[in-house]
Structure 1
């Protein structure tokens, strides 16, 4: 691939990311954010996965079809996640408010890391594998334990993106969701591939 072919490929991907981000924002707002965020994010990760795996399907059609299909289930998962994050926020507030709870700070950070990692892997696992709820949560949890570097890379990248958006808030409607999901999905697919290769080697060696 020469320079111009690479530049054209980059430009096409960039336009697709901008388009996917507008769809994500639009469908999130259709559900008043609270009820639209999870179905729209599932649809966004579905589109991003197709991009990374070079699956040629219409973005808008894929997004809308996935959004409709996953709306009810996605909001059920959203309620669980919102509840867990609320409990975690209350725990941190209590620890920083009451001195006698300070010994619980490190264990709470460890739990928060595991929850954050499981959440990072949740959407990639959701759109890449066909699993039932508890199997999906278990798989996301196991990937968190076996691929902590991926969790740290995702957290570092999100921190960097937060800094960029603080400096250039005008980029938020263009890239906020799509770029972050692009890298989370990219890192996750690498983790999935390593596990699949390991299973293949184990199967061959037995």
Structure 2
């Protein structure tokens, strides 16, 4: 590898590290500005939308871009958040109920846990879809379910990515404050892009046949 190429790689890496730390801090700030509950989903959507611009090799100003999406999607992202939280609470209540039932079926309990894991994947794809195209919330959720079922490899990337971030944050003090959420966002968007490419390939094969 030539020196100039190596320098470019190092520069790009440092640029991404600084960018992820900045976006992570913005996510914390804007989540708190919405009193956490009302700020969490708008900040998350703004984070994903901002990261998406950089993945597409656009280089917009970070703060202005983040603020633009935060304002634009504040209402719709909170509507999506209410649906996500409501379904999540139902799954959680179901699992807690099964845990307290003495004669519960082990199979039923683990089925609920697996459903909860699948639901987390659906949330990830829903959030990625939300910043990709404008559609009704029901369509986002339906498409996310179909992607989760039909694309196991990208889903495994999300699982392993989340696990890697969890262990990194657990064992490396201070890392979570600067990078945890933004890296998770990068994992979600990269995995979703891989899923979209797989779907496009399948559609092209069907069209060719």
Report TM bin, short chain. over 0.9
Q: 1:26 aligns with which of 11, 25, 29?
A: 29
Paired residue secondary structure (1:169)? coil
Q: 1:67 aligns with which of 50, 67, 70?
A: 70
Residue 104 of structure 1 corresponds to which residue in structure 2? 108
Say which is worse superposed, 118-127 or 82-91, in terms of deviation: 82-91
Q: How many residues in Structure 1 have an aligned counterpart in Structure 2?
A: 205
1:105 Cα deviation after fit: 1.4
Matched with 1:147 is 151
Instruction: With the length of structure 2 as denominator, give the TM-score of the two structures.
Output: 0.92
Unaligned runs of 5+ in 2: none
The answer to whether the aligner puts 1:186 opposite 2:205 as a matched pair is no
Which runs of 5 or more residues in structure 1 are unaligned? none
Alignment of 1:16-55 (within 5 A): 16-55=19-58
Superposition deviation, residue 85 in structure 1 = 1.5
Q: Say if 1:94 and 1:101, in contact at 8 Å, map to a contact too.
A: no
RMSD between aligned residues: 1.5
Match of 2:204 in 1: 200
1:169 to 173, 177, 180: 173
Does the 8 A contact of 1:120 with 1:151 survive in 2?
A: no
Aligned-partner Cα distance in 2 for 1:156–1:127 = 23
Question: Which digits, 9 at most, give the CA deviation of each residue in 1:162-196, with x for residues without a partner?
Answer: 12112223112210110111111111111111212
Q: Does 1:156 align with 2:156?
A: no
Aligned to 1:8, what secondary structure does the other structure show? helix
Provide the residue aligned with 2:121 in structure 1: 117
C-alpha distance in 2 between matches for 1:169 and 1:97? 36
